Amino acid sequence: MASKKKRGKIIINRELCKGCHVCITACPQKVIFPSKKLNLKGYYPAECREPEADEDRRCTGCTLCAVVCPDVAIEVYRE
């Protein structure tokens, strides 16, 4: 029986994120990237790639991004 890959979903609060991008470095799947749009504070917050965009690089719900976020702007959900 083949093992099913774990799937997760992250939600980044654009207004809490100050754009330090530590989560981008911490993500082993490389699904987080800097936004091209500013938030209300004038920062480029982090964003998460949509799960359907690339099947091989999906969020696994490892929570590394949320653990390293100094602004507590990331919520992680697991399937």
Please state the pTM of the whole predicted model.
0.83
For 22-47, letters b (16+ CB in 10 Å) and e give bbbebbebebbeeeeeebeeebbbbb
Confidence at residue 46, expressed as pLDDT on a 0 to 100 scale: 97
Hey, what amino acid is at 64?
L
Confidence at residue 51, expressed as pLDDT on a 0 to 100 scale: 62
Confidence at residue 55, expressed as pLDDT on a 0 to 100 scale: 64
Q: 17-78 adopts what CATH topology?
A: Alpha-Beta Plaits (3.30.70)
pLDDT digit string (tens) for the chain, length 79 residues? 455 667 889 999 999 999 999 999 999 999 999 999 999 999 999 999 876 645 677 899 999 999 999 999 999 999 7
What are the structural domain ranges in the chain?
17-78
3-class DSSP string for the chain: CCCCCCCEEEEECCCCCCCCCHHHHHCCCCCEEECCCCCCCCCCCEEECCHHHCCCCCCCCCCHHHHHCCCCCEEEEEC
